[in-house]
């Protein structure tokens, strides 16, 4: 038990920044990422069957991705008032481009949220976390080839989802 706690603490020291960055990228809000980070470590501590986990870092990243998308799903269900809308994390300065940029990022995150777990994990680790295929394969317990196929399928699915969304928007505009 003590060893596991030590491992979790080591994980926090080693991958804390990376996990926080991942959560910020997926939620686009630093305050929410902070909360989810805390929740993640409480969950990790209280997880039953700790001895079964071999790769703590992979497990934590997977849990962080799930937490972030659970939060996004809850956000879709609850209506936010304008006062509660926080500024999205972005490096752009012009208000219009900032708005467009934030909208684009929200759109693609929504589309990622519609993917299945494996595809989502592979896509995020590859394209958002910028990890090499071999590392992802090791973390997911698959071959690099399988991960590549998952990413390919995920991108295709995103193309479909975002394309259909755009078509609907154009139809509404034409009317």
Partner 1 sequence: MSKIDENEILRRLEQLSQIQPSFEATERAINRARLGFKWGTATASYKSNSPSPIFRFAAAAVLLICAGFLAGRLFAPKPINVEQLRAEIETSLKSSLSASCEQIKDELHQQVRRDLAEFATQTVAASTTVTDQRLAELIQLIEDARMRDRFRVAAALEQIELNRLQDKTQLGNGLQGLVAQTSELLRTERN
Q: Is the dihedral of CA 151, 117, 165, 73 positive or negative?
A: negative
Contact residues for 59 (Cβ-Cβ < 8 A; gap 6+): 44, 53
The answer to whether 164 contacts partner 1 (rule: CB under 8 A) is yes
First to last CA, the chain: 63
Q: Taking the CA atoms of 165, 166, 167 and 169 in sequence, report the sign of the dihedral they define.
A: positive
174 lines the binding site for partner 1 (CB under 8 A): no
Site for partner 1 in 87-106 (CB under 8 A): 89-91, 101, 104-105
* Residue 57 touching partner 1 (CB under 8 A): no
Q: Does 40 bind partner 1 (CB under 8 A)?
A: yes
Distance CA 64, CA 78 (A): 21
Of 67-75, 77-85, 126-134, 138-146: span binding partner 1 (CB under 8 A): 126-134
Q: Which residues bind partner 1 (CB under 8 A)?
A: 1, 5, 8-9, 12-13, 16-17, 20-21, 24-25, 28, 30, 33-34, 37-46, 89-91, 101, 104-105, 107-109, 123, 127-130, 155, 158-160, 162-164, 166-167
């Amino acid at each position: 038990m003590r060893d596991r706690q030590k491992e979790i603490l080591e994980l926090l020291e080693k991958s804390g920044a990376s996990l926080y960055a991942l959560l910020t990228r997926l939620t686009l809000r630093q305050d929410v990422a902070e909360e989810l980070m805390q929740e993640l470590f409480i969950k990790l501590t209280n997880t039953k069957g700790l001895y079964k986990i071999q790769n703590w870092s992979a497990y934590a990243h997977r849990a962080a991705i799930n937490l972030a998308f659970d939060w996004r799903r809850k956000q879709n269900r609850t209506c936010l008032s304008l006062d509660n809308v926080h500024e999205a994390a972005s490096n752009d300065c012009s208000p219009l481009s900032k708005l467009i940029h934030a909208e684009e990022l929200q759109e693609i995150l929504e589309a990622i949220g519609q993917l299945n777990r494996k595809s989502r994990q592979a896509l995020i680790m590859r394209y958002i976390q910028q990890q090499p295929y071999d590392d992802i394969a090791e973390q997911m317990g698959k071959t690099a080839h399988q991960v590549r196929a998952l990413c390919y399928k995920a991108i295709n699915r995103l193309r479909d989802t975002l394309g259909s969304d755009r078509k609907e928007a154009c139809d509404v505009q034409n009317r």
